[in-house]
Amino acid sequence: MHLAFIIFRLLGSAFAAASISGCATMSEGNSPLYSVDRAADYPVKIVAATFVPTIEIEIALSGKADGALKGAGRGIAECSPSLAAGPFAPFIFVPCAMLTGAVLASIGAWTAAPKSEIDPIQMASQNDHGKMAQERLAEKARIYLADISEKLISRAGPEVIGPKSTSDRPEYRPLSHAARGSLLELSLLSIRYEGTGKDGDLVCLRMVARGRKIDAATGTVIDALDYSRTIECQTVAQWLTEGGLRFSTALENGYRILTENLVDKLYLIYYPPWRERGTAKPERQVPEYILAPVTPRAPEMYLDFRSMTGKAKHKLGWGGMHFVDVDSLTPLLSWEAFPRPFDMPAGGFTNITYDVRIYIGSVLKHMVVEPGTLLHEVTGLVEPHYSMAIPLQPCSHYFWTVRTRFNLNGTRRLTEWAGAYYTAGGEVSPSHIFYYPFRTPGSNDNYSCWN
C-alpha cells in the first residue's frame, strides 16, 4: 500500500498539481491571463466576503480515551466476522476480540496525543478566526496589488456587499454609470487542521480561498479562481508553544500566500500569446511561460526506486524530481534573460526586474522532499543572476524559484514563479512543490555526504 502511494505521488499527476495550485474557470484560449493589454483592469476595488469561514478540525484522535476506544474497535474488527459463526464461536471469536481489542486499545491510548493538547487547538481555532479573517484577506490583497501594479487599489464602498456564504455568488450592479476597471471579490472559504492525532505526528494548517474578478461597468464575471494550500505542519506540542504565537504567525502567512496567488493569477501573470509559441516547447526543459534555469541546471525527472531506501542521497522531489548538486555553499543562481525571442510584442517590455526566492527542503514521511520554510527573498534584481552572501547549510536540500516583473503597455505584469513543471508523469500546473531543487556539498570541495 505504501509503495503504491509513493509511486503515485512521485509521478506528480496533473490532477494532484491542480488541486494544490488552484483551478481557474477560464481556458487558455479565452482567459484574460493571456491578453497583452491589461490596463482596462484598473482601477480595482476590493470587496470581502461577509461570512465566517468554515473551521474544520480533521484530527482523527481527540485524546488518549478516544485513541483507546478506536484501537479497541480496530481490534474487534481484526477478528473476522466468520469467527463469530458456528458452534465454536464463543471459544474463538470472543477470546480473539477481547485479546486483540485490549492490545490495540492500549496501543491507541499510548500513541494518541493527550486530550489536554488536542483541546487547545480546537479552542484556538474557534477564537482566532471570525469575520475579521475576510477583512485581513482583503487588506493583504489591496496592499500587495497596489505595491506590484503601482496603481490605485481601494476598498469598495459599504453599498457593495460581498458573499454571505460559501455558495453565495452576488450579482453586482455596475458601480456607476461611468464605471471603469474591475471589482475583486475575495472569500476565505475554510481553515482546516488535519492530522492523525497521534502523539508526535504532524497537524497541518490548510486554507482555501476564492477570488472573482468582475467588470465594474457591467457586473459580469471576467474570471474566477479557487486556491487551496497547506500552510504549515507542526506537532501538537509545537503548535501550543509560544502562547499561540505559532497559530497567528501561520495564519498571517496563509493570508499572504492565498492573496498573492489569487492576485497574481487574476491580474498580473503574463503568458506568451499562444499563437506565438510553436517550436519553442520541444527545445526547452521547462514551459515557455516561466524563466528557464541556467545554474543550477533544470533537474532530471524520472522515478528512482532507490528513494525507498530513505537515504538522503536518494531522496527525490515530487514528480520524480532529482536534486541538482551545486559546488558551493553560496551558489550562483542564474536564469535566462527576459524577454525571450518568442515573447510578444517585440520591444514592448520595459522596467524589467527579477525576484528570487530560496526555500529550505522539508522531508515528508514518504521520503519526498518539498519546499518548506522560505529562507530568503530578494526583489528588484536587474541582472539575471544572484548569489547569496550568507552561506547555506552543508549537505542540505534547497529549492529556488525566479520570476520577472516588467511593464507592458503601461501596466505592471509578471511571470509565474519558475519550476520543473515537466515531470515524470507529464506537464503539471504551476505549484510551489515543483520549484527548482538543488543540494549543497559538505564543504566547497567535499561531496562525501551524498556518496
- The enclosing domain of 288 has a CATH number of 2.60.40.10
Beta strand spans in 151-181 (E): 153-155
Task: Tell me how far apart the alpha carbons of residues 319 and 394 are, in angstroms, rounded to a whole number.
Answer: 25
| Matching residue, cell 492565498 | 258
Same domain, 221 and 363: no
pLDDT of residue 332: 96
Dihedral pair phi/psi, residue 10, rounded to 5°? -65, -30
The distance between the two most distant Cα atoms of the chain, rounded to a whole number of Å, is: 89
Task: Tell me how far apart the alpha carbons of residues 176 and 343 are, in angstroms, rounded to a whole number.
Answer: 37
State how many domains the chain has.
3
Same domain, 282 and 327: yes
Same domain, 279 and 264: no
The residue out of 233, 268, 303 marking a domain boundary is: 268
**Axis crossing angle, helix 64-78 with helix 115-128, rounded to the nearest 10:** 110
Going by DSSP bridges, is the β-strand pair 182-195/54-59 parallel, antiparallel, or unpaired?
Answer: parallel
Say if 25 falls within a structural domain: no
The DSSP call for residue 33 is G
Say if 17 falls within a structural domain: no
The residue out of 218, 244, 268 marking a domain boundary is: 268
Domain encompassing residue 188 = 37-58+118-268
Say if 3 falls within a structural domain: no
Same domain, 185 and 323: no
pLDDT of residue 96: 44
Task: Tell me how far apart the alpha carbons of residues 184 and 61 are, in angstroms, rounded to a whole number.
Answer: 40
Sign for the CA dihedral angle at 201, 202, 203, 208 comes to negative
pLDDT of residue 209: 97
Same domain, 234 and 291: no
Q: What is the pLDDT along the chain (451 residues), one digit of tens a residue?
A: 344 444 444 444 333 443 344 443 333 334 444 456 788 899 999 999 999 898 877 765 444 444 444 444 444 344 444 444 444 444 444 444 444 444 444 444 444 445 555 565 555 555 555 668 899 999 999 999 999 999 989 999 898 999 999 999 999 988 776 678 999 999 999 988 887 756 667 788 899 999 999 999 889 999 999 999 999 888 877 877 776 678 778 889 999 999 999 999 999 999 887 544 444 445 788 999 999 999 999 999 998 877 777 777 788 999 999 999 999 999 999 999 999 888 866 668 999 999 999 999 988 766 789 999 999 999 999 999 999 889 999 999 999 999 999 999 889 999 999 999 999 889 999 999 999 999 999 865 566 787 7
Task: Tell me how far apart the alpha carbons of residues 99 and 105 are, in angstroms, rounded to a whole number.
Answer: 10
Dihedral pair phi/psi, residue 392, rounded to 5°? -80, 170
pLDDT of residue 436: 98
Say if 352 falls within a structural domain: yes
Same domain, 237 and 289: no
Residue pair 49/187 in contact (Cβ under 8 Å)? The answer is: yes
Going by DSSP bridges, is the β-strand pair 411-414/385-387 parallel, antiparallel, or unpaired?
Answer: unpaired
pLDDT of residue 365: 64
Say if 16 falls within a structural domain: no
Residue pair 429/18 in contact (Cβ under 8 Å)? The answer is: yes
Q: What angle do CA 422, 229, 149 make, to 5 degrees?
A: 80
Same domain, 285 and 159: no
The residue out of 228, 246, 268 marking a domain boundary is: 268
Say if 1 falls within a structural domain: no
Residue pair 208/190 in contact (Cβ under 8 Å)? The answer is: yes
Residue pair 261/229 in contact (Cβ under 8 Å)? The answer is: yes
pLDDT of residue 103: 42
Going by DSSP bridges, is the β-strand pair 202-215/221-235 parallel, antiparallel, or unpaired?
Answer: antiparallel
Same domain, 255 and 285: no
| 103-108: long-range contacts, CB 8 A cutoff, minimum separation 24 | 103/75, 104/71, 104/72, 104/74, 104/75, 104/78, 105/68, 105/69, 105/71, 105/72, 105/75, 106/68, 106/71, 107/71, 108/61, 108/67, 108/68, 108/69, 108/70, 108/71, 108/72, 108/74
Say if 44 falls within a structural domain: yes
CATH classification of the domain holding 183: 3.30.160.150
For the CA atoms of 46, 378, 333, 421, the dihedral, rounded to the nearest 10 degrees, stands at -20
Task: Tell me how far apart the alpha carbons of residues 311 and 306 are, in angstroms, rounded to a whole number.
Answer: 8
Task: Tell me how far apart the alpha carbons of residues 430 and 418 are, in angstroms, rounded to a whole number.
Answer: 8
Q: What angle do CA 38, 39, 40 make, to 5 degrees?
A: 90
Say if 94 falls within a structural domain: no
